[in-house]
Structure 1
């Protein structure tokens, strides 16, 4: 039996510990490992809240900032019990919750200031827990994104943790764009301030653009035994330099990634979708669930500033209850540059798509919250276009209905490490229209399981996006057999953890 430790900032295997797709992976992969008869420990920060109903397992004492810190390791209850999986959180007063999903801090004045502090305490506590054998004798330590990369720094350079070297360390990149860059010296949230006893190997740790800073994402890439990207095509993308906004690639870390690849340490393995963990939704509740969500948000004090808009969306939806549209296009996503830059750059391209939809008596439904500029843009487009329904909030029930009742799912991500939405849409037999990039390239095949747009230049991509959209509508309207064939092919596609885990064991874990 192999013994694994997963170290991450999020874990959807326990309650209230998820901000994005990483939480899903840290939930699903341990379950798959446990099924194979191996043992998994999963540890995340407690963010001052997750330890409350836990059982104290150990007090951990370790050096930080030239003094001794004591943190507490708690075992906590999972959402669902599985043999061979144990969930833990680490509590310390400086591991605080942030405003983003009660996990991350948004530090506009000094990027990563608060997150650096809490993840340094967390990673050193994890190193101490490994050292004292809190998780037993480990074979594999699997870390996720920059939040856990300091563990590699501690293992390599800290005099107290030299005996952590015997197990294999695997590092997964979920979002390369967020890198955890902080100064080496002269700052409360600097490396030297937290680790005064560690001699700093500046050259091996520094950020390519800011030589007086550490880049923790870069540290993970340079120091792990195996580095993993969450799709094969994203691996290819990030070994090339970014040329924003046309192309988002290695974000200044491409040389380190090329080196990892040359050394045989870089692997692209597609994330999977969980086909057992499906919330059962009923068909026919799309508009009712929209109205229910709108009523709930209207009573929420924090949403007062958009009460007018919510009411406007409600009026729109009420019309569709009696006069049902013939075709529904939908998108569910955080409203960010990554997901909707194409619309921000060219609202008129999006408006062309809405005009095409109007001709077939179709509507476009978008659900999401996020960047205020993107929210504002979509709100103003909604006032302008009767067939654009923008539900500016979050609702699980409504999201389920959208995945269930949409005809075409639209995912124009500028870059996409893996993407899960397209898998969820395809699971229901809904073709997707996607940008031909990263994980979307690996999951949607143009004219076979869906539709994809691309182009040499940004303008060409925008043009192609509208052309492919019209092409999809044309097939739906005028070639029903072909449309049904694409639907059936999309529904047949299965991106299972079982398949991905075979590759994990073979390439990442060497088991």
Structure 2
């Protein structure tokens, strides 16, 4: 039996510990590993709350900032108990929750300041837990994004953690654009402040653009035994330099990724989706679930400033309760540059899409929260266009209904490491319209399982987005057999964890 440890900022196997797709992966991969008879331990920060009903397992003492820190390891109950998997959280008063999904901080003036502090404490506590054998004798340590890469820094450079060199280290990149860059010196959230005893190897640790800073994403890429991107096409993308906004690639780390590839350490393996025990929604509840979510948000103190808008959305949705529109386009995502840059940069293109929908008595439903500029844009568009329904919040019931009852799922991501939304929509037999980039290229085939646009320049991409949207509606209006075929093909597609974890065992874990 092999013994695995997953180290991550998110884990959707436990309640209230997910901001994005990484949480899904850290939930699903250990389940697939456990089904093969191997054992998996998953550890995340407690964020000051997740330990509260946990079982205390160990006191973790370690040196940071020239002083002794004491953290606590708790085992916590998952949403679903699975044999051979144990879930843990690490609690320390300085590992605080942020405003993004009660996990990450948004530090506009000093990027990564708060997150660097909490993930440094977390990673050192993890290294200490491994050292004292809290997870048993480990074979593989699998880390996710920059939040956990300091474990590699510690096992490489810290005299107290030389024992950690025995196991194999795998590093998964979920979003290369977020890199955890902080100064080496002269700041509370700097490497030297937390590890004054370590002689810093600037060449191995530095950011290629800001040479007085550590880049924790680069640390993961440079020091791991195997590096993994969450789709094959994203692997190809990140080895090329970015040319924003036309193309988002290596984001300054393309040479590191090329080196990892030349050394046989870089692998692109597609994330997967669940096809068993799916949380299902009942058909016919889309508008009811929207109204229920709106009423719930109206009672939430933190959403009082949106009360007028929530009431406006409720009024719009009521007209569809007994009178379903002919065609529904939907999107569910965090409102960020990655997901909706095209719509923010070219609102006129989005207006063309809404006008085209009007001709078929269709509506566009968007659900999400995120960047205030994007929220503001979509609220303004909602007041302006009667067939655009923007539900500015988060609701699992409503999300399930949207995936189930949409006619076309719209995913115009600027870049996409893998994407899960398109897989969830396809699982329900709903075609997707996507920007052909990263994992969307690996999952959606134009006019076969969905619709896709691309282009060499930004203007071409925008023109093609509107053109392909028009094409998709033309197929639905004028070629029902072709539409049915695309729907059936989408539903038949299978992106399984069994296949993906086979590749993990072969390429990443060498087992």
Normalised by the size of structure 2, how large is the TM-score? 0.99
| Aligned equivalent of 2:184 | 184
- Give the whole-Å Cα distance in 2 for the aligned partners of 1:90 and 1:399: 31
- Aligned equivalent of 2:12: 12
2:476 is paired with a residue whose SS is helix
Deviations 1:142-176 (A, max 9, x none): 00000000000000001111111111000000111
Mapping for residues 85-234 of structure 1, pairs under 5 Å: 85-234=85-234
Q: State the alpha-carbon separation in 1 of the partners of residues 429 and 460 from structure 2.
A: 29
Residue 295 of structure 1 is matched in structure 2 by 295
Q: C-alpha distance in 2, partners of 1:294/1:126?
A: 41
Q: Secondary structure at the match of 1:321?
A: coil
The SS at the match of 2:245 is coil
User: Which residue does 1:50 correspond to in 2?
Assistant: 50
> Contact 2:246–2:456 (CA<8 Å) still a contact in 1?
no
In the TM superposition, residue 187 of structure 1 has moved relative to its aligned partner by: 0.9
292-301 or 24-33, which deviates more: 292-301
- Aligned to 1:118, the other structure's residue is in SS state helix
In 2, the alpha carbon distance for the partners of 1:351 and 1:426 equals 26
What does residue 438 of structure 1 align with? 438
* Alpha-carbon distance between aligned partners in 2 of 1:315 and 1:49, rounded to the nearest angstrom: 37
Could you tell me which residue of structure 2 aligns to residue 459 of structure 1?
459
- Stretches of 4+ aligned residues off by more than 3 angstroms: none
Residue 260 of structure 2: SS of its match in structure 1? helix
For residues 408-461 of structure 1, give each alpha carbon's deviation from its aligned partner in whole angstroms, at most 9, with x where no partner exists. Answer: 000000000000000000000000000000000000000000000011111001
How far 1:50 moved relative to its partner? 1.3
Q: 2:260 & 2:162 partners in 1: Cα distance? A: 23
Q: Return the offset for 1:299.
A: 2.1
* Alpha-carbon distance, 1:312 to partner: 1.6
- What SS does structure 1 have at the residue aligned with 2:470? helix
CA offset at residue 324 of structure 1?
2.2
In the alignment, the residues of structure 2 paired with residue 155 and residue 17 of structure 1 have an alpha-carbon distance, to the nearest angstrom, of 27
Equivalent residue for 1:80? 80
- Partners in 1 of 2:246 and 2:348 — Cα distance? 18
Cα separation, 2, equivalents of 1:380 and 1:122:
41
Write the distance in 1 (CA, Å) between the matches of 2:310 and 2:203. Answer: 53
Q: CA deviation at 1:306?
A: 2.0
Distance in 2 (alpha carbons) for counterparts of 1:369 and 1:190: 31
CA distance in 1, matches of 2:387, 2:70: 57
Q: Following TM superposition, by how much is the alpha carbon of 1:108 offset from its aligned partner in structure 2, in angstroms?
A: 1.6
After TM superposition, list the pairs within 5 Å mapping 1:251-270 onto structure 2: 251-270=251-270
- The residue aligned with 1:323 is 323
> Aligned partners of 1:451 and 1:480: how far apart in 2?
15
Q: Say if 2:248 and 2:415, in contact at 8 Å, map to a contact too.
A: yes
User: 1:493 Cα deviation (Å)?
Assistant: 0.4
Distance of 1:140 and 1:415 partners within structure 2: 30
The Cα shift of 1:300 comes to: 2.0
Instruction: Report the equivalent of 1:503.
Output: 503
Structure 1, residues 318-373: CA drift from partner, whole Å, max 9, x if none?
11223321111111111111000001111111111111111111111111111111
Deviation at 1:224, TM superposition (A): 0.1
Q: Residues 108, 277 of structure 1: CA spacing in aligned structure 2 closer, same or farther, 3 A cutoff? A: farther
Give the SS at the match of 1:53.
Answer: coil
Aligned to 2:63: 63
- Higher mean Cα deviation, 408-417 or 105-114? 105-114
2:490 and 2:51 map into 1 onto residues whose CA distance is 42
Return the offset for 1:277.
Answer: 4.2
How many Å separate the matches in 2 of 1:20 and 1:456? 29
Q: Distance in 1 between matches of 2:446 and 2:259?
A: 33
Alpha-carbon RMSD across the aligned residues, in angstroms, is: 0.9
**Cα distance in 2 for residues equivalent to 1:282 and 1:117:** 44
Structure 2 match to 1:238: 238
The alpha-carbon deviation at position 106 of structure 1 amounts to 1.3
SS of residue in 1 equivalent to 2:108: coil
Q: Is the 8 A contact 2:335 2:371 kept in 1?
A: yes
Is 1:26 the counterpart of 2:14? The answer is: no
Alpha-carbon distance between aligned partners in 1 of 2:64 and 2:156, rounded to the nearest angstrom? 16
Structure 2: distance between partners of 1:101 and 1:375 = 16
Q: Report the CA distance between 1:506 and its aligned residue.
A: 0.2
Could you list the per-position Cα deviations for residues 162-201 of structure 1 after superposition, in whole angstroms to 9, with x for gaps in the alignment? 1111110000001111111111111111111111111100
How many residues matched? 511
Per mean C-alpha deviation after superposition, the further-off stretch among 144-153 and 56-65 is 56-65
Alignment match, 1:487:
487
Map of 1:450 onto structure 2: 450
Moved more, 349-358 or 264-273: 349-358
- How far apart in 1 are the matches of 2:290 and 2:473? 24
Structure 2 residues without counterparts, runs of 5 or longer: none
Q: How many Å separate the matches in 1 of 2:13 and 2:321?
A: 37
